[in-house]
Amino acid sequence: MPMQIGLDELLTMLVSRVEEMGLDAENQKSRFNIMFRVLYRKGLFDENDALEAIREENKILLELGLIKAMPDDKTLKAATDNLMLWIKGDAGEIRASLDEYRKRLEEAQAQQNKPHIDVAPAGVLNELDRLGANNNSKKLIL
């Protein structure tokens, strides 16, 4: 006999797993930041090395077909600058960069008017069925 699971239980499990993956990603990011700060402070690489590595990474992504075009030099330089902010640990600049990013993201979201779907719990649907019993309707979708 198949096991049944409620939608709320399934969503709880999925959200829990996504949160776990997010924590793991943050942990890995912190470790890489720490390692790269050590290497940078020891003088084992500089901004030009980072720029060339970013250019090479994008070249590989292009050859694999994972990106459609090679980013221009301005975009590669911006990516390098962003990476170096983290490596250097410049909290003030990072905060300003994040604030600017949030502002641009909010502007982009304000321009989009995508419809969304709300899912009602089973109890609400049953109540709607009960209310619509007089006219023989089932599961109202608005």
| Residue 64 pLDDT greater than 90, yes or no | yes
pLDDT confidence of residue 142:
53
pLDDT confidence of residue 7:
85
| Residue 65 pLDDT greater than 80, yes or no | yes
Structure tokens at 19: 């949160």
Domain count, the chain: 2
Shared-domain flag, residues 75 and 108: yes
Distance CA 53, CA 40 (A): 14
Residue 105 belongs to some domain of the structure: yes
Shared-domain flag, residues 53 and 107: yes
Residue 91 belongs to some domain of the structure: yes
Task: Find all residues with CB under 8 Å of 51, minimum gap 6, and list them.
Answer: 76, 77, 80
pLDDT confidence of residue 136:
57
| Residue 139 pLDDT greater than 60, yes or no | no
Shared-domain flag, residues 22 and 76: no
* Predicted structure pTM score: 0.58
Shared-domain flag, residues 82 and 33: no
Shared-domain flag, residues 30 and 80: no
Residue 52 belongs to some domain of the structure: yes
7 vs 42: which has the higher pLDDT: 42
pLDDT confidence of residue 125:
73
- Average pLDDT for 74-79: 94
Residue 19 belongs to some domain of the structure: yes
Rounded to a whole number of angstroms, the distance between the first and last alpha carbons of the chain is: 35
Shared-domain flag, residues 50 and 90: yes
Shared-domain flag, residues 25 and 53: no
Shared-domain flag, residues 53 and 109: yes
Distances (CA, A) of 114 to 68, 90, 104, 109: 26, 37, 18, 9
The tens digit of pLDDT for each residue in 89-136 reads 888 988 998 899 899 988 888 887 666 677 778 777 777 777 766 655
Structural domain range at position 40:
9-44
Shared-domain flag, residues 59 and 106: yes
Band of pLDDT at residue 138, cut at 50, 70 and 90: low
Shared-domain flag, residues 53 and 99: yes
